[in-house]
Amino acid sequence: MILYGSSFSPFVRKVIAFAAERGVALENKAILLGDPDPAFRAASPLAKMPALVDGDFSIADSTAIVTYLDGVAPGAKLIPETPRERATVYWWDEFADTELFGVGRRMFFNRVVAPLFQRNPAIADAADADAAERDDLPRILAYLEDVVPEPGGWLVGSSLSLADIAVASPFVNFDHCASSPWADAYPRVAAWVRPILARPSFAGVVDSETRLLAKVRGRGAA
């Protein structure tokens, strides 16, 4: 299977980690935002990453992709079957894709993507990144601080699920670009999310992102 996208996108990283947890081998074809690659465009009608191609089947949207992977891969599922657990997993997935991503996008785009990857500081709105971190991130992290399980616990049920993977993924972007370490102010969130990001399914991809970012920062642009 081919996965189009850059792992710097929390949506793409979510799919990569999910596939690794489910033992699905993906060939990751790195693309840029709005990439003109015809194969990517054919798989992603809205030109958003990620998109997946599996033989003659293609599908875009991270949630649609992980739902497909969970269905086709043998072994224990990461999206539960029971109505309440399944609904709750999708609620967390939506929380990650909207609330966490919404704030993270303003920080990561303006501090990393525009100035460093796109070499276009003119479109980087530093004030908006600061406002997102100062005014909006605390509300979301304070909510999580109240509801995350004890370290070693899971957001839904008694084992790892899509919920944990989806909510953990945007934290990598916060780590890449937050001006003050969020973990100091939200210790329960940190104690829950750190072990998830240390799992092999996340660790490899996070490490390669961190190394690439250090290189790009070292030379001032991509």
Contact 78, 161 (CB under 8 A): yes
Q: If we measure between CA atoms, which residue out of 41, 209, 49, 47 comes closest to residue 117? A: 209
We find the least distance from the C-beta atom of residue 109 to ligand GSH, in angstroms, to be 9
If one counts every other C-beta atom within 10 angstroms of the C-beta of residue 81, the result is 7
Pick from 23, 34, 153, 195 the residue near ligand GSH by CB under 6 A: 34
Among all chains, which residue has been given the structure tokens 């293609």?
A: 58
What part of residues 87-146 is at the interface with ligand GSH (CB under 6 A)?
A: 97
We find the least distance from the C-beta atom of residue 158 to ligand GSH, in angstroms, to be 26
* Residue 47 or 222 having the CB closest to ligand GSH: 47
Binding mask 35-64 for ligand GSH (x = CB under 6 A): ------------xxxx----------xxx-
CA 198 to chain CA centroid, nearest Å: 14
* Residue 100 or 155 having the CB closest to ligand GSH: 100
Strand partners, 29: 4
Pick from 33, 39, 183, 216 the residue near ligand GSH by CB under 6 A: 33
CB-based contacts of 103: which residues, under 8 Å, 6+ apart?
Answer: 132, 133, 136, 137, 140
9 touching ligand GSH, by CB under 6 A: yes
The 8-class DSSP code of residue 118 comes to: S
We find the least distance from the C-beta atom of residue 112 to ligand GSH, in angstroms, to be 12
* Residue 80 or 170 having the CB closest to ligand GSH: 170
- C-alpha to C-alpha distance for 177 and 104, rounded to whole angstroms: 9
- Applying CB under 6 A, which residues contact ligand GSH? 9, 11, 33-34, 47-50, 61-63, 97
